[in-house]
Amino acid sequence: MFMSKRWFVIHTYSGYENKVKANLEKRIESMNMEDKIFRILVPMEDEVEIKDGKKKVTKRKIFPGYVLVEMIMTDDSWYVVRNTPGVTGFVGSGAKPIPLDEAEARQIMGTMGVDEPRTKVDFDAGEQVRVISGPFENFSGVIEELLLDKSKLRVLISMFGRETPVELDYNQVEKIN
C-alpha cells in the first residue's frame, strides 16, 4: 500500500463526526498507531449568524458525514480506522482507499480557518426593517437588496417624501414583525 503520510477521507454516520474523531484518537493511542495515524480532522468553518441585530459565530461542518485522517496506509492502520465505531468506510473506488491530492488537502485546510467566516443572513429582500444604530437610527425601510460580498443590506428608507437607498450593516437593522 502507500508508504508516505497522506490524507484520506472516511465516511461516518452523519452527526457522529466528532464522536468518530474521539474514538479514533483513543484507538490510535491504545493500539500504538501514533507512528502510522497522525491527525484526524472534522472539516469545519466559522459561520457568522446575525439574528435580532446580534452577531454569533458558530462552527459548521463543511462535509457532514466525512472525517479526514492523515495516515500512512498499511494493513494495520487501515484496520484500526476501518473498525472504529461510527466509521462506515473509506472514500475510494471499491476496497481501495484513495488519498486526497495535496491541492485538495491544502484547500480544505485553508477553508478551515484561513478564510473569512461565512455569514448566514436572516434577512430577505422585501422585508420591513427598522434601523437600530447609526445616522438613520429609528428610520424604517424595506430591504431592496442583500449585498453578500460586502456583508451589507441596501435598504430603501423614506426620507423627505421619497425612497432613498442606504447601505447598512446587518447588525444595524432589526426586522419589523
- What does pTM read for this prediction? 0.62
Question: Where do we find the cell 477521507?
Answer: 9
Handedness of CA 66, 70, 73, 79 (dihedral sign): negative
- The reply to whether 105 and 129 lie within a common domain is no
> What pLDDT score does 104 carry?
84
What is the count of structural domains for the chain?
A: 2
- The reply to whether 104 and 47 lie within a common domain is yes
Please answer whether residues 115 and 65 qualify as being in contact, where contact means their C-beta atoms are separated by less than 8 angstroms: no
Bridge partners of residue 168, in order along the sequence: 153
> Cα–Cα distance between 49 and 43 in angstroms, integer?
19
Please answer whether residues 11 and 89 qualify as being in contact, where contact means their C-beta atoms are separated by less than 8 angstroms: yes
Question: Where do we find the cell 423614506?
Answer: 158
- The reply to whether 36 and 87 lie within a common domain is yes
- The reply to whether 15 and 55 lie within a common domain is yes
Please answer whether residues 22 and 30 qualify as being in contact, where contact means their C-beta atoms are separated by less than 8 angstroms: no
Domain that includes residue 127, residue range = 123-175
Name the nearest CA neighbour of 80 among 10, 4, 13, 18.
10
> What pLDDT score does 116 carry?
46
One-letter amino acid identity for 123?
F
- The reply to whether 73 and 147 lie within a common domain is no
Where residue 37 sits, what CATH number does that domain have? 3.30.70.940
Domain boundary among 87, 116, 145: 116
> Cα–Cα distance between 82 and 37 in angstroms, integer?
12
Domain boundary among 68, 100, 116: 116
> Cα–Cα distance between 90 and 68 in angstroms, integer?
10
- The reply to whether 91 and 135 lie within a common domain is no
- The reply to whether 134 and 91 lie within a common domain is no
- The reply to whether 44 and 86 lie within a common domain is yes
- The reply to whether 10 and 37 lie within a common domain is yes
- The reply to whether 67 and 106 lie within a common domain is yes
Low-confidence ranges of the chain (pLDDT < 70): 1-3, 113-120
Domain boundary among 72, 87, 116: 116
- The reply to whether 44 and 10 lie within a common domain is yes
- Tens digits of per-residue pLDDT, 62-92? 889 999 999 999 999 999 999 999 999 999 8
